[in-house]
Amino acid sequence: MVSAPTAIADDEDLTAALDWFREIDGGRSSLGERIRQAQVFFRSHAVRMDARWPDPSELLLKSDLIASYLAQADGFLHQPASYDLTLAAHIVPFLKHIGAGLQLLRRMPGAVDRVRRLLNPKQQHPDGVLFELSVAVRYAREGFDVEFVPESSTRSADFRAGPADSTKDLHVECKRLRASEYELREQASVRALFDPLAALIRESRLSVFVDVTFTAELVSIPPSYLADRVPAAIGSSLYLPGGYPWRDEYSEGIVREARIDSVQADTRAHGPLIVGPKMWRLLTGEVLPSGPYHLILRGQSDERDARYVDQVDYASVLSWHCLAPRSIDARARHISSLLADIDRQLATAPMGIAHIGMYAERDTLSADRRSQRNREAVGRFHARSKLIDVYLHYYLPRVSEAHSWTIDETAEGGSRLDEPLLDDPRIFMLAELQPKAAWYLPPPRCP
């Protein structure tokens, strides 16, 4: 687990990383102004007029993603109103790892050119280069001499690494997997299903907690499905203290009264409350695991940071998962095609290593299936290159009351060597190895 304290405070590693990036930029791309613009965009989109809280991905400036990434680190250090717990858990651990390894990176040939590529707003996505820099630091910490391979028309690995007393080079290729088109369509489908429910919540000023597990593909579910479930539950003549469950051909779930009185008591005692893990816990009575949520409320926003609210009139939360077989299969996509691409990039390497990073699935069933399929894909892959090892890195961002950002890493090696190259396959090694995969660990405790 990689984490940071709750308070927005100084962090030498993050400061070092940001200063290095500004130094390399040298004013050529006005990086400071780009970060400021990303923070302005964040603050202007952090709260919606209809009181529906946006998905964190909507707070990123799509035309300059790296500026939005660095804005999160700068927000942690200097601008709390531009800082988001959920976004930070995806971004800040990698930046901190880079800052902690800065002395090593400064001595790496090609590292500056790699950062210049990262800072280009036209770069396709920052995740890839951040992962490359992080993996390079990991090898340097193991005593390898690391040198980034200059980009050219000839496909090659990201960097070379070799012991200082050896002429044998390892060529290391790093890949980051992002959400598939299927996953993005699922997320859009849930937002569309939530819209009629949100309208009902606003109209009736409801405070409810809806927890649903879809068993059918989301595209097959009627648009008013969630909005129809809630009136049926709250209009029931029966009093069920544990909530009103349902099960049909589309899903199973439960509707419970949200504990709006707990939120109101907290704001009376402590002042405005940020929309985040503590509010979710107060409303639901549970420490919710990291995952997808939708929230709508009505209250008085704090003029210093509109994400802090007081005088909350009503608030409702939707938590969802999808266990439809096709959904699980789509999200548990294996990596055979990616391995083939890596194999081509390592065609001329004397020895090749691959590191593939991805986010862990949000439910244990999908996560286990994906991990199994990935291991099977690595095991049956016949490389034409001299690919000797494949490391799979699963990252599970956490949203917690106790930390400003948290990420867990589970890593697996698929070594063809008698002994693995890295005793600890993780990139982040700031905590002891856990006996279970990260997706089986309980949510971080609240303070």
Note the helical H segments in 101-237. 102-106, 111-119, 126-141, 181-204, 225-234
Give the residue carrying structure tokens 């660095």.
70
16 touches 101 (CB < 8 A): no
Angle at 125 between CA 36 and CA 73, to 5 degrees: 40
DSSP conformation class of 431: S
pLDDT band at residue 7 using 50, 70 and 90 as cut-offs: very low
Q: Please name which of 171, 207, 184 lies closest in space to residue 352, comparing C-alpha atoms.
A: 171
58-67, 175-184, 214-223: which range is least confident on average?
175-184
Report pLDDT for 8.
Answer: 53
Write the pLDDT tens digit of every residue in 319-334.
998 999 999 888 877 8
**Tally of CB atoms within 10 A around 41:** 20
419 touches 390 (CB < 8 A): no
To the nearest whole number, what is the mean pLDDT of the chain?
87
Q: How far is CA 212 from the centre of its chain?
A: 22
**Tally of CB atoms within 10 A around 19:** 12
Q: Which helix (H) or strand (E) holds 396?
A: strand 387-398
Domain boundaries, the chain: 2-180+333-440, 182-326
Overall average pLDDT of the 427-441 stretch: 81
288 touches 179 (CB < 8 A): no
User: What angle in degrees, to the nearest 10, is found between the helix axes of 12-25 and 85-100?
Assistant: 80
Q: Which helix (H) or strand (E) holds 89?
A: helix 85-100
Report pLDDT for 1.
Answer: 46
DSSP labels for 234-301?
A: HT-SS--TT-EEEE-SSEEEEEEE--HHHHHHHHHHH--EESSHHHHHHHHSS-PPSS-EEEEEEEEE
Report pLDDT for 418.
Answer: 67
Report pLDDT for 3.
Answer: 45
Write the pLDDT tens digit of every residue in 98-114.
999 999 999 999 999 99
CA-only gyration radius of the chain, Å: 23
Does residue 434 carry a pLDDT above 90? Answer: no
